[in-house]
């Protein structure tokens, strides 16, 4: 089905532990516009796409979003590595620590757990592709906000990579939308 290379799609480096930034980044792990939501949305929607091109695109991007989830998890792990419980508590992560220690949990930056309500699949390919384009723009915006929240040049580098992938995904979904619209315009003879 897939070939999994045991390395990240893009290298993750951080200059120093940063609990506050880890707390913000978690929104791209389990938040409404995060990578998990995108991956599940696209891998679910692919089944109702009318063209092989659109199905393949949703499969490819959904799989890539899982790779991005792995990048975010690595960032958070590195930002929290070796941070004592008291420092987590001071940063507002005491409840997280009590339940999960330093482990990741799918929630947003406010601690709200991930929910399937974050994903959408209407069964209408055109509607779903418009939803996907909007989702990519929201993720791009979130990455821009995250870039503004850190002064770590290494972390900014990986965040810029993720932001640019959102731009590419938006463009590719636009191509899929054109493909599906053309499919529906083709004459059908029975």
With a CB cutoff of 8 Å and minimum separation 6, the contacts of 190 are: none
pTM to 2 decimals?
0.94
Summarize pLDDT for 85-123 with one digit per residue, the tens.
999 999 999 999 999 999 999 999 999 999 999 998 999
Is pLDDT above 90 for 66?
A: yes
pLDDT of residue 188: 78
H-type alpha helices, 33-117 = 35-45, 52-80, 85-90, 94-100
**149's tokens:** 């929240």
Q: Domain map of the chain by residue range?
A: 19-109+121-185
**155's tokens:** 């972390």
**Location of structure tokens 């897939």:** 2
Summarize pLDDT for 2-40 with one digit per residue, the tens.
677 789 999 999 999 999 999 999 999 999 999 999 999
With a CB cutoff of 8 Å and minimum separation 6, the contacts of 80 are: 17, 19, 22, 88, 102
**Using 50, 70 and 90 to split pLDDT, how confident is the model at 1?**
low
Mean pLDDT of the 40-54 span = 97
Mean pLDDT of the 60-88 span = 96
Q: Which residues pair with 107 in a beta bridge?
A: 113
Considering the segment(s) 19-109+121-185 as one domain, its CATH architecture is Up-down Bundle (1.20)
Number of neighbouring beta carbons within 10 Å of residue 55: 17
pLDDT of residue 126: 97
pLDDT of residue 4: 77
pLDDT of residue 5: 79
CA 160 to each of CA 141, 165, 176: distance values in angstroms, whole numbers, following the listed order: 11, 9, 24
Summarize pLDDT for 134-148 with one digit per residue, the tens.
999 999 999 999 999
Is pLDDT above 90 for 41?
A: yes
């Amino acid at each position: 089905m897939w070939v999994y290379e045991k390395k990240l799609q893009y290298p993750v480096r951080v200059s120093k532990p940063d609990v506050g930034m880890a707390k913000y980044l978690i929104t791209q792990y389990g938040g409404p516009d995060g990578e998990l939501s995108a991956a599940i949305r696209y891998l679910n929607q692919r089944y109702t796409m009318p063209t092989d091109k659109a199905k393949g695109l949703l499969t490819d991007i959904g799989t890539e979003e899982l790779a991005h989830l792995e990048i975010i998890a690595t960032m958070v792990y590195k930002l929290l590595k070796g941070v004592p419980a008291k420092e987590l508590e001071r940063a507002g992560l005491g409840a997280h620590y009590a339940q999960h220690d330093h482990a990741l949990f799918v929630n947003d930056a406010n601690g709200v757990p991930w929910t399937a309500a974050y994903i959408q699949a209407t069964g209408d390919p055109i509607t779903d592709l418009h939803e996907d384009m909007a989702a990519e723009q929201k993720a791009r915006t979130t990455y821009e906000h995250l870039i503004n929240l850190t002064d770590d040049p290494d972390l900014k580098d990986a965040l810029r990579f993720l932001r640019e992938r959102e731009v590419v995904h938006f463009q590719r979904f636009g191509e899929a939308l054109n493909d599906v619209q053309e499919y529906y315009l083709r004459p059908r003879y029975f």
